[in-house]
Amino acid sequence: MVTLRNRMKTASIAAALVTFLAPGITPAEVVNLNHDGVLLNANLETVDGGLGAAPTVLITHGTLAHAGMEIIAGLQELLGERGMNTLAINLSLGINDREMSMYECTTRHTHRHGDAMTEIGAWYDWLKAEGAGDIAVLGHSRGGNQTARFAATRGDGDITAAILIAPMTWSEDYASKSYAKSYGTPLEPLLAKAEELVAGGKGAEVMQVPGFIYCKDAEATADAFVGYYRPDADFDTPTVVGRIKAPVLVIAGGADTVVADLVPKMQGVADGERIKLEVIDGADHFFLDLYLEDVADLVSEQLGK
């Protein structure tokens, strides 16, 4: 079941996102966590009473991005205004104490898609240890897929909801054609070489590849290449959501050209009850400006705030 939102927009500057903190919201602070020998960073923003006094939303950013990007920072602000705590995590992407900025394509890629799920889990455990009660998990784009896959590992009652904003979709055929189109060379021989290195215990060996995710002429370990390019049906988020025991909310942008097939893929999965699909008419992949207000409203409704 699909719900289409087409809210009346206004050009009034007064209606734009505010840049000050609403009363009762603690200014965001950077918190740290040591995980498998790597220092992780996150932005924590709490309402009056702290983590134990209100629902907490654990937020994961998208591909090669960071916790301070516009959609993530905006969500923290807007969800705080609606009475929710937020923890926006900065995935390490294989870098110790990674800054909250975009991943530089000139940096060697040693990270894998699946690493994010373990980091989400580490932050979930941290929140529990810090006294958080009701925890929802939220992810954008690739982070939406990683969030869904983490949520699918949790039992009944572990998380209050999984909220997936423009989560990634995938098919083996599209991935193959897209790589060849973007980088002028077929994916399969490169993947075969990486798989051979990994099977031979040489996953840390560096490969010079014509492209890695968004980066041209990149360096990536064999482990990293396999981690992002080995065919895996679970890269397709609509395939995963049915295994999540908690309520699921998928939010799609009506003008999103990045995951343009999300809505048709979700139509056969969403039942309008445990798994909901909301389409925000006119929003692109990043839900900029007032569209982010719509996202925050939907999250608030989902969590009963």
Tokens linked to 54? 């209100």
Q: Phi/psi class of residue 287: alpha, beta or left (left: φ > 0; alpha: ψ in -120 to 50)?
A: left
Residue 7 has pLDDT above 90, yes or no: no
Residue 217, number of CB atoms within 10 A of its CB: 12
Question: Of 171, 139, 125, 143, which Cα lies nearest the Cα of 248?
Answer: 139
Residue type, 174: Y
Q: Is the dihedral of CA 184, 187, 189, 190 positive or negative?
A: positive
107-116 pLDDT tens trace: 999 999 999 9
Query: Can you give the pLDDT at residue 18?
Result: 35
Query: Can you give the pLDDT at residue 21?
Result: 45
Average pLDDT, the chain: 92
State mean pLDDT over 35-57: 96
172-211 pLDDT tens trace: 999 999 999 999 999 999 999 999 999 999 999 999 999 9
State mean pLDDT over 158-181: 98
Residue 266 has pLDDT above 80, yes or no: yes
Question: Of 19, 73, 65, which Cα lies nearest the Cα of 45?
Answer: 73
Residue 27 has pLDDT above 80, yes or no: no
Question: Half-sphere exposure of 67 toward its Cβ, with a 13 Å CA cutoff?
Answer: 28
47-84 pLDDT tens trace: 998 999 999 999 999 999 999 999 999 999 999 999 99
Give me the torsion for CA of 25, 135, 124, 62, rounded to 10°. -80
Query: Can you give the pLDDT at residue 90?
Result: 98
Cα separation, 241 vs 268, in Å, equals 12
Query: Can you give the pLDDT at residue 223?
Result: 98
Strand order in the sheet with 135-140: 2-5, 275-280, 248-253, 162-165, 135-140, 56-60, 85-90, 38-45, 29-35
Q: Is the pTM of this model over 0.75?
A: yes
Q: Return the percentage of the chain with pLDDT > 70, whole number.
A: 91
Query: Can you give the pLDDT at residue 28?
Result: 77
Q: What DSSP character marks residue 235?
A: G
Residue 210, number of CB atoms within 10 A of its CB: 15
Question: Of 233, 226, 83, which Cα lies nearest the Cα of 145?
Answer: 233
- Residue 98: Cβ-neighbour burial (10 angstroms; 0-12, 13-18, 19+): buried
245-257 pLDDT tens trace: 999 999 999 999 9
State mean pLDDT over 95-108: 97
Could you tell me if 58 and 120 are in contact, meaning their C-beta atoms sit under 8 angstroms apart? yes
Domains of the chain: 2-170+233-302 (3.40.50.1820), 171-231 (no CATH)
Residue 242 has pLDDT above 80, yes or no: yes
Cα separation, 297 vs 97, in Å, equals 33
The band of 305, judged by pLDDT with boundaries at 50, 70 and 90, is confident
**Lowest mean pLDDT: which of 5-19, 123-137, 158-172, 194-208?**
5-19
